[in-house]
Structure 1
Amino acid sequence: MTRMTVLFVHGAGSAGAAAWPHQAAVADPGWQFLTRVGVADDAVRDCGRVLDLLRARGGGHVVASSYGANAALLAAQHEPGAVRSLVLLEPACFDLARGMPAVEEHVAAMTPVFAVADDVSVPDTEFSRLFAAATGMPPPDLPEDELREATRRLRAIRPPWGLGLRDDLRLPVRTLVVTGGERPLYEETAEALVLRGARHVTLQGAGHRVQDDPRVLDVLRQHWAD
């Protein structure tokens, strides 16, 4: 029996199998979970890592969450022959949705936060508060050492715009977008991807971490079967 290669690409939070606990618990032999290298993710660098892993296996499907969707889509644009299909969960591919109101509001709110990421006079607790406020989320309630590590990662991440995604008329591979139906920022991004040929499924109430919703596995398997 041929093993189907599926590569799971995490978002800006947990990495590797820890970012996909429900999928890792039932993983088929051909499933792989991209790990993080360095302090933080970099979509341009990680695009190369995605392609290296897929080439080594003769190609495969990619499932990516939030920030990781940028690396996945960059990989499909650079080498569509290696990427058999994409599933993008609440994708932060904001380059393709510029001009839409919620996306522009988010970029405007986050730009000054990223501008002080390297400012040592801004302590981690303050940066974490600024980042959370700009995303419309409450500050994370974490022990000091975990907060320091999480904030260090957020300070080092490349913003999810200006990453070099091509504004192609059509997506280069079969693409499914899955959102939770709650945040306009991601619904607008899904709309922009649909305009380029993606299919969109809404799992109402799934939240941003769509991969934690028990309905997702059936959606994934149906997409691969199609």
Structure 2
Amino acid sequence: MHKQRVVFVHGLGSFGSAAWPKQHGMALAYDALFLRRHGFDAVTEPLESNVAADVAILINALVDSGGGHVVAHEQGAISAMLAAVERPDLVHSLSLLEPSCLSLTAELPATASYRALMEPLFDVRNQLNDADYQREFYRRAFSAETGGLDTPEARRSARRLRLQAPPWDAPLHIVPGVPTLVLTGGWEPLYEEIAGYLQETGALRRVAAGGHRPQDSVDGDQAIRSFIADVGRAMSVQAS
């Protein structure tokens, strides 16, 4: 039996399969691919973020299967939406988890407030060292403290964070006709504002526990699985 492809696109933190601990089991029912975005590697030095390269990686992961479902977290949602705009024939559905799609809601209050808070830090990121930038980023974005950079992995992660472009610069558009789920953790007005905007344009909106990673909660994981299964069944009916 042919398995539908599901491609997972990570955010700023962990990458590849490590970013999706609750979704590993989906490989039993689907042809699951856990991507690494441009510049994310366990050994080589991080690179400047490149949304166009991320889009190409995602489209290449969909082409050889004739398309598939896309599940994307945080900044990974930017390349997921852009891929759906470029190749809507390949994207069967979008599941956007705490999507950092700030350019869609640029004029709305929570997004404007977040940008006002974060833009001064982005403006000086090339003047800061990795540790100082990471510390200030987490303090502003999450009101949280970060650990030390006492391992090569931690140092690469901090460098990679500093090399990410501002999320409000992405040229995003709504993708008409692509079934979309937006899942948030209910903790941060910014993401609820983005989710509300997407809901108004036709997305199914769900909230689950888990903070910035609702996909790690039982309810969040179930929301993703149920949505993809429902879309898959509808596609099968249409094809028969």
Cα shift at 1:176: 0.5
Cα shift at 1:25: 4.4
Q: Could you tell me how far apart the structure 1 residues matched to 2:159 and 2:33 are?
A: 26
Q: Secondary structure at the match of 1:22?
A: coil
Cα shift at 1:217: 3.0
Could you list the structure 1 runs, at least 4 aligned residues long, displaced by more than 3 angstroms after superposition.
none
Cα shift at 1:172: 4.1
Q: Could you tell me how far apart the structure 2 residues matched to 1:123 and 1:158 are?
A: 16
Q: Could you tell me how far apart the structure 1 residues matched to 2:113 and 2:77 are?
A: 20
Deviations 1:101-160 (A, max 9, x none): 1111111111111111212xx233321222122213222113433442222011111111
Cα shift at 1:47: 1.0
Q: Could you tell me how far apart the structure 2 residues matched to 1:185 and 1:43 are?
A: 21
Q: Secondary structure at the match of 2:92?
A: strand
Q: Secondary structure at the match of 2:27?
A: coil
1:85 corresponds to which letter in structure 2? S
Give the equivalent residue in structure 1 for 2:36.
35
Q: Could you tell me how far apart the structure 2 residues matched to 1:127 and 1:79 are?
A: 36
Match of 2:136 among 130, 148, 158: 130
RMSD: 1.7
Q: Which 5+ residue runs of structure 1 have no aligned equivalent?
A: none
The reply to whether residue 92 of structure 1 matches residue 96 of structure 2 is no
Q: Secondary structure at the match of 2:69?
A: strand
Give the equivalent residue in structure 1 for 2:191.
186
Q: Could you tell me how far apart the structure 1 residues matched to 2:24 and 2:50 are?
A: 23
**Contact 2:16–2:34 (8 Å) recurs in 1:** yes
Q: Secondary structure at the match of 1:118?
A: helix
Give the equivalent residue in structure 1 for 2:210.
206
Q: TM-score, with normalisation over the residues of structure 1?
A: 0.91
**Contact 1:171–1:198 (8 Å) recurs in 2:** no
Give the equivalent residue in structure 1 for 2:223.
219
Q: TM-score, with normalisation over the residues of structure 2?
A: 0.86
**Contact 1:76–1:172 (8 Å) recurs in 2:** no
Cα shift at 1:26: 4.7
Q: Secondary structure at the match of 2:126?
A: coil
The reply to whether residue 141 of structure 1 matches residue 141 of structure 2 is no
The reply to whether residue 19 of structure 1 matches residue 19 of structure 2 is yes
Specify whether residues 163 and 172 from structure 1 end up closer, same or farther in structure 2 by C-alpha distance, changes over 3 A only: farther
Q: Secondary structure at the match of 1:6?
A: strand
Match of 1:77 among 76, 85, 99: 85
Q: Secondary structure at the match of 1:32?
A: strand
Percent identical among aligned pairs is 40
Match of 1:111 among 114, 119, 137: 119
Match of 1:171 among 155, 170, 176: 176
**Contact 1:87–1:177 (8 Å) recurs in 2:** yes
Cα shift at 1:162: 1.4
**Contact 1:8–1:34 (8 Å) recurs in 2:** yes
**Contact 2:73–2:99 (8 Å) recurs in 1:** yes
Q: Could you tell me how far apart the structure 2 residues matched to 1:127 and 1:143 are?
A: 12
Q: Which 5+ residue runs of structure 2 have no aligned equivalent?
A: 40-45, 231-240
**Contact 1:67–1:93 (8 Å) recurs in 2:** yes
Specify whether residues 217 and 135 from structure 1 end up closer, same or farther in structure 2 by C-alpha distance, changes over 3 A only: closer
2:123 corresponds to which letter in structure 1? A
2:160 corresponds to which letter in structure 1? R
- Greater helix proportion: 2
Cα shift at 1:197: 1.1
Q: Could you tell me how far apart the structure 2 residues matched to 1:56 and 1:96 are?
A: 30
How many equivalent pairs are there? 221
**Contact 2:55–2:80 (8 Å) recurs in 1:** yes
